[in-house]
Structure 1
């Protein structure tokens, strides 16, 4: 910027200064010649007026300039010099005027005096040009500093974004173009921050949600190894393990889908009893290992609209939460509420403390030393599938999942399901459950 400004000023000085200098030189030279001619004419007039008699040199010197010399020639007399002597070989401006009575007057002016005037005027022009260049350099430096500082700051901001620091700086510089760049960088920082948050959230959700099916799969495979001599048992356990693998695949796919699009989908109509039965069978060993009971109550044969895999994940999170943080019998209860089907999970533990109640679905919030992700992920999954997960009662603890009911479906009592639920109280078995549930215990949950 300094170089560009300096170049522009130099061009302007050259375009205007050089012609001005030429004009001034020509003007001074022309004026000097005119003055010499004017002095010669005036002096000749005075001499002729006096009739060419005795000439008073002192009175005639007033008719010419101080730096000029004149020679007056009259008939019959030698030339008389008026003014200072001119050294031989001196360059001069000269003019000679002839009178009507034979009188002639010659006036000369040394060119050195004119050159001094030209030098003085050129010095003034050069001084003005130098002042203009200096002023331009000062202004260019100030403007360059005004722009270079924000540009360096913007470069640092871009470098921070590249290093992973996606905090918007919200700095403006009173320069529209730079403010626009800063605004774009801030918007990019916000987008990058959202992307990084989504990636970290996906990693945390995946690690949490994959833990249960992987643990269950490991347990089933261990049982296959222990019962290798019983072919029917091996087939049954292998089938259950295959189901766990399919569920694991569904979990991964669902997490990836939710990370790309949180709007959810329309889902399909399915029987909620199938999901509940599958989850009760899956969590029965964990409940038995903890000396706990797992029961089913409420209406049966309720058809809902959603994704069976997602509903199963949410229900698994609620059962795991009840086994880990609650106490006593875990009850799965279904009912209808208008156009919704409500699936409630409750236990006989101490419930949720008042200070934790309003934050129980927040990430990293836990009443114990757990990850604090289970309920947060469960709520996100429910909302992504078009449902809703709420804490409807803190003591006793009751979590309710609200699902869309299939239109024109009529709930019916399901004695078989109720009978199956009544026998769900299991005896303690060795090992741990799919969620790594502890053997009993009560206290705040997360």
Structure 2
């Protein structure tokens, strides 16, 4: 493109120079020729006037007297009746410009000038026009190069930006070029880069959340299935199968929740639910895992509390806290319920060493992890808690106490929910 821009600009300039240059050469050549002829005519008339005045005054008309009246490159012949011709200057060779003037006393004056003088003047004019044309061509080339760089460099940058987008690097460049059309393209590419970046972030977040959130129910489900394979008691098999079905339902809820959060992490489906049921469900799911580690999990506090939120999301938050205590804590894990103001609080604590002092509340960041962990469990748990208007906090670092705060105020009734759907 750069070469084409330079070539097209140079072609336009050359055409303009050719059209106007040739016209100017023709006009100047004619002007110089006419000026030379007028000069010769003027010289002949002037000499004739001088000769007339000397004849009328009975003065001598000789070559010595009139030689100074003729130009350096001119040749003059004066013919007076009854006298020999008087020649002034050197007679030119080749083609000449001449003119003959008649005097009042019958004399004639012929002035000649070599046409080479006209040729030299035309040549000098052509050199000047050629020099101007060359300067114009050089200026046009420099301008074309500058303009080509101004247009081709942005296009190269935009092509590189589009290539980076295609290769999975959605960082916007926020670079503008002072050309409205190119700046518009850059705006569109930057907007696309930001959208692609948000989409990739959402996809990566969904993958990370899924890898963490699905692991817990799958682990619990596999443990239930192991219990079934290790027993021959039909009642135990039935009980464990029912728990496994509950785990499958919870796993389905986890998947739906993850997909919902990937589209809009603030889209909640909060309802009023019995908090005891969710806690007891978690205790039943995690007791086998704690027994295998020689530890216990218990609950205490205020009973029959109703909270507002999504039961599946609350179960996932508690599961993340319980698993965190299993992996990083020690001793007995306790789930305590209490009421503060208009909120129901579930505290999860254990007898382990707690959260390192250098982490503190940074433990909820996605890239922060205690040890041998993905570093996303508590971050996902906090997102789930906040999705329905709750919050998850670290109340105490040593021993660790995490608090899940849930509103007790029922969600506002939406009148539109009772209206029939209009099709």
**Same fold, judged at TM 0.5 (above):** yes
- In the other structure, the counterpart of 2:380 is 377
* Match runs of 1:138-157 below 5 Å: 138-145=142-149, 148-149=152-153, 151-157=155-161
Moved more, 60-69 or 231-240: 231-240
- The correspondence for 2:33, drawn from 29, 34, 56, is 29
* Match runs of 1:410-425 below 5 Å: none
* Match runs of 1:305-384 below 5 Å: 305-384=308-387
What is the rounded CA distance, in whole Å, between the counterparts of 1:120 and 1:183 in structure 2? Answer: 56
Contact 2:272–2:410 under 8 Å retained in 1: no
Counterpart check, 1:208 vs 2:215: no
* Match runs of 1:17-416 below 5 Å: 17-51=21-55, 55-87=61-93, 90-145=94-149, 148-149=152-153, 151-167=155-171, 188-227=192-231, 232-407=235-410
What is the rounded CA distance, in whole Å, between the counterparts of 1:99 and 1:343 in structure 2? Answer: 134
List gaps (5 residues or longer) in structure 2.
412-423
What is the rounded CA distance, in whole Å, between the counterparts of 1:267 and 1:337 in structure 2? Answer: 20
What is the rounded CA distance, in whole Å, between the counterparts of 1:209 and 1:305 in structure 2? Answer: 22
What is the rounded CA distance, in whole Å, between the counterparts of 2:224 and 2:121 in structure 1? Answer: 112
- In the other structure, the counterpart of 2:420 is none
1:130-187 CA-to-partner distances (Å, cap 9, x unmatched) read 1221233234335544654555445444433332334455666677776776666555
What is the rounded CA distance, in whole Å, between the counterparts of 1:313 and 1:238 in structure 2? Answer: 21
Q: CA deviation at 1:95?
A: 1.7
Q: CA deviation at 1:115?
A: 1.3
What is the rounded CA distance, in whole Å, between the counterparts of 1:284 and 1:73 in structure 2? Answer: 144
Moved more, 144-153 or 248-257: 144-153
Contact 1:303–1:406 under 8 Å retained in 2: no
Contact 2:335–2:349 under 8 Å retained in 1: yes
Q: RMSD between aligned alpha carbons?
A: 2.8
Q: CA deviation at 1:249?
A: 1.6
Contact 2:55–2:61 under 8 Å retained in 1: no
Moved more, 135-144 or 369-378: 135-144
1:346-379 CA-to-partner distances (Å, cap 9, x unmatched) read 1222222222223221224232222222211111
What is the rounded CA distance, in whole Å, between the counterparts of 1:359 and 1:99 in structure 2? Answer: 119
Corresponding residue SS for 1:379 = helix
- In the other structure, the counterpart of 2:418 is none
List gaps (5 residues or longer) in structure 1.
409-446
1:318-342 CA-to-partner distances (Å, cap 9, x unmatched) read 1111222222222211122222111
Q: CA deviation at 1:254?
A: 1.0
What is the rounded CA distance, in whole Å, between the counterparts of 1:58 and 1:247 in structure 2? Answer: 133
TM-score by length of 2: 0.85
Q: CA deviation at 1:44?
A: 0.9
What is the rounded CA distance, in whole Å, between the counterparts of 2:68 and 2:238 in structure 1? Answer: 140
Q: CA deviation at 1:61?
A: 3.1
* Number of equivalent positions: 405
Corresponding residue SS for 1:50 = helix
Corresponding residue SS for 2:113 = strand
Q: CA deviation at 1:82?
A: 2.5
Moved more, 22-31 or 181-190: 181-190
Q: CA deviation at 1:216?
A: 2.2
Corresponding residue SS for 2:47 = helix
- Spell out structure 1 runs of 4+ moving beyond 6 A: 172-180
1:283-309 CA-to-partner distances (Å, cap 9, x unmatched) read 121222222222222222222221111
What is the rounded CA distance, in whole Å, between the counterparts of 1:348 and 1:161 in structure 2? Answer: 50
